[in-house]
């Protein structure tokens, strides 16, 4: 007993090393059930007859065939009757109804419905083409009274939701609602940012539509239109040169087929341009029809 007390005292004042403590038994880690990986998200289905969802696979097909698009996959759609002549680009364009776009043309963004676009056309940001009209001769201009479809994509947890989803207006004997006539954009047209073009309007070859212009009537070839409503500010060239350019149909050739001609001075180069078109086979890449590749 005395020896143990003496050793404890000596250890307390540091003259003997402390006793080694037995190692604590390891605590086993709790078993964790593995969390299964979520199934891959399936892309939206391709709708029979369109419009077609722009999937990553469809973007890759279009890209390989000479059609550039920056639309986010699985978010936007394209009408089944869309037609493209490569190379061309629809970048971020929101296409509601049929579109046809020619070689060397591009659009940046905006709304497009029932539009035919020629070659060498440049379309800026947030351009509006073919916005549909509301009926103005009916009791109300609201489409709730003449469109036989759900106007709003809503759920069912609100008052009278079932009645809303079941309702279809009776349009018996009424004149049919017309979505809008085709807009035609000819060749070598430049449409500025946020321009608005009414359904049925034709923009002539070589014309320029100024930014924010509201175009309610046809635009002659090589005219520059600005304002609301759009008015002709001037023409790009004189009448004689415009007539020769239109007659030449130079846009039937690809850029590389016009090499060696000074395109910065069309008045001085018109003879060479006419001769080149006359002796060169037109550029014919074929058409990419969306309904054929999906």
More confidently predicted of 165 and 119: 119
Q: Which residues belong to the active site?
A: 134
| Residue numbers of the domain that contains 112 | 52-134+141-169+181-293
Q: How many domains does the chain have?
A: 1
| SS3 track for the chain | CHHHHHHHHHHHCCCCCCCCCCCCCCCCCCCCCCCCCCCCCCCCCCCCCCCEECCHHHHHHHHHCCEEECCCCCCCEECCCCEECCCEEEEEEEECCCEEECCCCEECEEEECCEEECCCCEECCCEEECCCCCCCCCCCCCHHHCCCCCCCCCCCCCCCHHHHHHCCCCCCCCCCCCCCCCEEECCCCEECCCCEECCCCEECCCCEECCCCEECCCECCCEEEECCCCEEEEECCCHHHHHHHHHHCHHHCCHHHHCCCCCCCHHHHHHHHHHHHHHCCCCCCCCEEHHHHC
Which of the four pLDDT bands, split at 50, 70 and 90, describes residue 25?
low
Position 26 scores a pLDDT of 55
Query: Per-residue pLDDT averaged across 224-244, rounded?
Result: 98
Say if 206 falls within a structural domain: yes
Position 18 scores a pLDDT of 60
Position 1 scores a pLDDT of 53
Say if 149 falls within a structural domain: yes
Say if 254 falls within a structural domain: yes
- For the question of whether the overall pTM of this predicted structure is more than 0.95, the answer is no
Position 137 scores a pLDDT of 83
CATH code (residue 151): 2.160.10.10
Which of the four pLDDT bands, split at 50, 70 and 90, describes residue 145?
confident
For the chain, the average pLDDT equals 87
Give per-residue pLDDT as tens, 58-71.
999 999 999 999 99
Give per-residue pLDDT as tens, 78-137.
999 999 999 999 999 999 999 999 999 999 999 999 999 999 999 999 999 998 788 788
Say if 37 falls within a structural domain: no
Look at residue 45 and tell me whether its pLDDT is greater than 70.
no
Say if 265 falls within a structural domain: yes
């Amino acid at each position: 007993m005395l020896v143990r007390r003496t050793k404890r005292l000596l250890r307390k004042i540091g003259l003997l090393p402390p006793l080694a403590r037995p190692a604590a038994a390891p605590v086993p880690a709790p078993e964790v059930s593995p969390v299964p990986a979520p199934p891959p998200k399936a892309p939206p289905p391709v709708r029979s007859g369109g419009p077609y969802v722009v999937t990553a696979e469809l973007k890759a097909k279009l890209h390989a065939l000479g059609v550039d698009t920056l639309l986010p996959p699985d978010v936007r759609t394209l009408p089944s009757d869309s037609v493209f002549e490569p190379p061309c680009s629809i970048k971020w364009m929101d296409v509601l109804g049929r579109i046809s776009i020619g070689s060397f043309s591009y659009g940046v963004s905006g709304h497009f419905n029932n539009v035919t676009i020629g070659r060498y056309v440049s379309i800026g940001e947030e351009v509006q083409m073919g916005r549909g009209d509301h009926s103005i001769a009916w009791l109300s201009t609201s489409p709730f009274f003449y469109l036989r479809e759900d106007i709003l994509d809503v759920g069912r947890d609100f008052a009278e939701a079932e009645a809303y989803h079941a309702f279809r207006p009776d349009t018996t004997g009424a004149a049919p609602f017309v979505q809008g006539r085709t807009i035609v954009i000819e060749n070598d047209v430049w449409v500025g940012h946020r321009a608005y073009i009414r359904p049925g309007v034709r923009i002539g070859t070589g014309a320029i539509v100024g930014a924010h212009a509201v175009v309610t009537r046809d635009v002659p070839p090589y005219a520059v239109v600005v304002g609301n409503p759009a008015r002709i500010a001037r023409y790009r060239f004189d009448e004689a040169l415009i007539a020769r350019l239109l007659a030449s149909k130079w846009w039937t050739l690809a850029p590389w087929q016009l090499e060696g001609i000074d395109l910065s001075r069309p008045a001085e180069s018109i003879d060479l341009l006419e001769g080149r078109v006359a002796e060169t086979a037109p550029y014919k890449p074929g058409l990419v029809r969306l309904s054929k590749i999906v």
